[in-house]
């Protein structure tokens, strides 16, 4: 793992949260994107080498909708940038970590993503991210 890529924050209302986080971070978001496969709308802020991702449910049955219903708004996951997501998945599985998905899929912000199950990471949802390039 090379760095913290972003911290994902589950929010009920993107517009209200953008107003709040823009004031807090003294910055404006650089991108808002719908990720249909995950049932979320994402909004990103760039902070140095790391990012903050706001996630609002766009489907009632999405993981974010269920998270907010159960726990309320707040930190949802921490994402790490990796050079080779396939190799990292294999390394982590060999170390005994449980994956939510065995294969990475396309996520927001031009990334391949996969998640480790929080049961194997002390209750923290961990995301692995690899920039999609023409060689992937």
Report which secondary-structure segment, H or E, holds 87: helix 85-94
Q: How confident is the model at residue 1 (pLDDT cuts 50, 70, 90)?
A: confident
- Long-range CB contacts (< 8 A, 24+ apart) of 88-97? 88/1, 88/128, 89/114, 89/128, 92/116, 96/120, 97/121
Is residue 132 within 8 Å of 110, Cβ to Cβ?
A: yes
Whether the pLDDT of residue 70 is over 50: the answer is yes
pLDDT in tens, 18-69: 999 999 999 999 999 999 989 999 999 999 999 999 999 999 999 999 999 9
Whether the pLDDT of residue 136 is over 80: the answer is no
The DSSP-derived string for 19-74 is HHHHHHHT---SEEEEEGGGTEEEEEEEETTEEEEEEEESSTTSHHHHHHHHH-SE
Q: How confident is the model at residue 98 (pLDDT cuts 50, 70, 90)?
A: very high
pLDDT of residue 133: 82
pLDDT of residue 71: 95
């Amino acid at each position: 793992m090379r760095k913290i890529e972003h911290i994902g924050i589950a929010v009920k209302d993107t517009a209200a949260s953008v107003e709040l986080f823009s004031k807090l971070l003294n910055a404006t978001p650089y991108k808002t994107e719908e990720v249909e496969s995950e049932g979320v709308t994402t909004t990103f802020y760039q902070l140095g080498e790391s990012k903050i991702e706001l996630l609002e449910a766009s489907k009632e049955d999405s993981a974010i909708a269920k998270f907010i219903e159960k726990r309320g708004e707040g930190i949802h996951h921490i994402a790490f940038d990796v050079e080779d997501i396939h190799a990292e998945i294999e390394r982590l599985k060999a170390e005994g970590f449980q994956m939510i998905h065995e294969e990475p899929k396309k996520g927001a912000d031009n990334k391949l993503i996969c998640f480790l199950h929080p049961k194997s990471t002390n209750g923290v949802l961990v995301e692995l991210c690899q920039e999609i390039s023409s060689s992937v």
